[in-house]
Amino acid sequence: MKSVKIILKTILCVGLILLFSKSWQLSTDGFRLDKLKSSLTDKNIAIDKSLKIDEILDQKFKYLSKGCQTYVFVSEDNDYVIKFVRFHRYKIPLWLTVLDFFEAYKTKRQSYKDKLLKDSLQSYNIANNFLKDETATIYVHLNRTSCFNNKLEIKDRFHRKYLIDLDRSGFIIQKKVKTFENVLDINKHNEIELKRLASSFIDTTFSIYKKGFINDDYNCVKNSGIIDNRVIHTDLGSFLKKDEMVNKDIFKNEMIRFMRNFKKWSDKNAPFLSNYIDEEIKQKTVNL
C-alpha cells in the first residue's frame, strides 16, 4: 500500500512538472537565446551602407510573434521587424543523439533536418537577391561575421531584456506590414476593396513567378501583408527556383495552386471574390 502511494505521488509530481513546463513554453512561445545560436560558417562580408542597417538596428526591439522558422521582434519606431532564425528546429532531439540503437532513424532524421535548413537558407537568399520588392526585405544575415560592432537589445513577451550578438545570429530585416488576413477580415463586406486587394496580391505573385520562382507556402493569406497599400509575401521560407515557369500551362497551374488558400477564405467570407480571382489569373496569364 505504501509503495502504491509513493508511485502515485511520483506520477503526480512528474505530471505537475510536465504541466508547468508546457505552460511556460506556451506562454513564452518557447523563446530561448540558445535556440538562435547559428551553426553556419564564417564569412567576410561588408554591409551596403545605402541600406541604413545601422540606423535600423540602433534601436530596441520587442517580441512580436513566433513563426515556423523564426522568432519575430518589432522595432521601437514600429517600422521594421527583425526575424531571428530558429536554428534549434534544424537539429535532432538530444535524446536521439545518445541512443545508439536508433542509428538508422537518427541518420535519416538528421538528413531531413539538413535538407530543411538548406532549403530555408536558399529561400531566404532568393528573397534577398531577387524578391526584395515583393517581400519588403531589407537585409538578410545568414553567416557568422564580424561586421557588427554592437549587440542588439531585445525584450521577450515578459519584457525581459537580452543582448543579441548579431555577428553570431541568422536574421532577416523587413519592413513592418499590416497582416493581410486582418485587412481582409476588416473589408470582407467591401466588394470594391476586396477586389483591389485580390488584384494586388495576384500582381505580386505574378511578379515573383515571372522571375522564375514559386512560393511553396500552403497558407498564403496568413503569411502575406500590406505595405504602401500593396500586398506582399512576408514569409520568406518557402521560395523555390523553378525553371519550368517558362511554360505557360505550368505557370498558370502554379498560380492557381498558390491561390487555393486565398480562395478558401473567399469561399467562406466573400464567395463573389473566388470567381474574380479566377478571372484575374486568366487575364494575367493569357499573354504569357
- What would the mean pLDDT of 85-106 be, rounded to a whole number? 73
Judge whether 60 and 76 are in contact, CB under 8 Å. yes
- pTM to 2 decimals? 0.85
Distance of alpha carbon 266 from alpha carbon 119, whole angstroms: 31
Q: Rg for the chain (alpha carbons), in Å? A: 22
- What would the mean pLDDT of 15-34 be, rounded to a whole number? 52
Does residue 126 register a pLDDT over 60?
Answer: yes
Q: How confident is the model at residue 198 (pLDDT cuts 50, 70, 90)?
A: very high
Angle of helix 248-258 relative to helix 191-210, nearest 10 degrees, comes to 130
Nearest to 209 by CA among 188, 169, 239, 174: 239
For 237-261, give one letter per residue: b (16+ CB within 10 A) or e.
bbbeebeebeeeeebbebbeebbeb
Per-residue pLDDT at 7: 53
CATH number of 178-285: 1.10.510.10
- What would the mean pLDDT of 167-195 be, rounded to a whole number? 95
39 or 129, greater pLDDT = 129
How do beta strands 152-155 and 61-66 pair? parallel
When the pLDDT of each residue in the chain is averaged and rounded to a whole number, the result is: 86
Helix or strand run (H / E) with residue 227: strand 224-227
Comparing 27-31, 112-116, 123-127, the range with the smallest average pLDDT is 27-31
